């Protein structure tokens, strides 16, 4: 069943444009490159949108509230550990970008949210992050479907569960958030570490 958020039509349109994990759509370079002249290397939102609420526990059991990161740039994405293609690439590229940022890595906080509450256990997430060089580099938030459904809805993330194959198709986007808590840019799943390294200082100053 696909869940959609009524008050995030813009982000749903972006999801349709950019494709998603497990979907037949492919994120296009045209969408990513269309705003290179503006500075930020993704799809720039004008006006910027307030970040929706996001408060869950991470895979270590610690409570995480997005509001706690005000004053810092934040990157938010939605993934799952059993993903066969896009999600591992997203997480690997985020970890690579953080390593490439070096001393500036503290300027950005990375948050991943599961779209597969059934299988994304603490153990599964720990293994998934370790295998992609991302352990200790991001908060990976988990929870029950009841806890996660309002988050998916308010963030405009469509999740389609294939019960027969135990797979998920979902909007595979990366949200770039300013220190003031505004979504300034949205990246397709084929973003590169270089784009994130380039954009973090711009987000941090926004």
> What is residue 37's predicted lDDT score, i.e. its pLDDT?
43
In this prediction the pTM is: 0.83
pLDDT per residue over 40-83, tens digit each?
Answer: 999 999 999 999 999 999 999 999 999 999 999 999 999 999 99
- Ranges of residues in the chain with a pLDDT under 70 are 1-38, 161-171
pLDDT per residue over 197-206, tens digit each?
Answer: 999 999 999 8
Cis peptide bond N-terminal to 47, omega within 30: yes
Closest CA to 203 of 184, 190, 175: 184
> What is residue 162's predicted lDDT score, i.e. its pLDDT?
58
DSSP state of 12: H
Domains observed in the chain: 9-20+50-170+187-205 (3.40.30.10)
> What is residue 71's predicted lDDT score, i.e. its pLDDT?
95
Rounded to whole angstroms, what are the CA distances from 19 to 28, 43, 79, 169?
8, 14, 14, 10
Kindly report the number of other CB atoms within 10 A of residue 2's CB atom. 9
Rounded to whole angstroms, what are the CA distances from 160 to 4, 67, 81, 104?
10, 28, 16, 37
């Amino acid at each position: 069943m696909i869940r959609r958020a009524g008050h995030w039509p813009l982000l749903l349109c972006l999801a349709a444009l950019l494709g998603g994990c497990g979907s037949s759509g492919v994120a296009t370079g045209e969408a990513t490159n269309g705003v290179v002249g503006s500075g930020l290397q993704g799809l720039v939102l004008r006006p910027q949108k307030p970040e929706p609420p996001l408060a869950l526990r991470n895979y270590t059991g610690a409570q995480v509230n997005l509001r706690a990161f005000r004053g810092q740039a934040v990157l938010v994405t939605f993934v799952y550990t059993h993903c066969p293609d896009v999600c591992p690439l997203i997480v690997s590229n985020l970890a690579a970008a953080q390593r490439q940022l070096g001393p500036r890595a503290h300027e950005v906080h990375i948050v991943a949210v599961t779209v597969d509450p059934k299988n994304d256990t603490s153990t599964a997430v720990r293994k998934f992050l370790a295998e992609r060089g991302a352990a200790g580099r991001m908060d990976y938030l988990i929870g029950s479907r009841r806890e996660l459904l309002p988050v998916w809805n308010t963030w405009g993330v469509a999740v389609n569960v294939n019960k027969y194959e135990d797979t998920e198709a979902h909007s595979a986007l990366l949200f770039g958030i300013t220190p003031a808590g505004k979504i300034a840019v949205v990246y397709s799943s084929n973003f590169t570490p270089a784009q994130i390294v380039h954009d973090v200082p711009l987000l941090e100053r926004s």
